[in-house]
Amino acid sequence: MSEATPKRNPDWKAAELLLALNAYFELNRSGDKPTDTHPTVVRTRRPPTSPRN
């Protein structure tokens, strides 16, 4: 790979894809806009091993 070729994002794992789709449909159903501070977005971004508060 030459240095001029841009790097690609890694492929999504099945669990990551399911979490993202769930968040998308949840926000779509509620009519809310996906902001960085929206609880659904925050919950989806949190690593699955982090403790729940």
Q: State the average pLDDT for the chain.
A: 82
Q: Say if pTM beats, i.e. exceeds, 0.85.
A: no
Of 49, 51, 38, 47, which is closest to residue 19 (Cα–Cα)? Answer: 47
Q: Which domain holds residue 30?
A: 14-45
Whether residue 6 lies inside any domain: the answer is: no
The pLDDT score that the predictor gives to residue 15 is: 86
Q: Which helix (H) or strand (E) holds 22?
A: helix 14-30
Per-residue model confidence (pLDDT) at position 11: 87
31 in a structural domain? yes
The answer to the question of residue 52 being in a domain is no
Q: Tell me, yes or no, whether 27 lies in a domain.
A: yes
Domain membership flag for residue 50 = no
Secondary structure of the chain: what % helix, strand, coil (to 5)? 45, 0, 55
Provide the number of structural domains found in the chain: 1
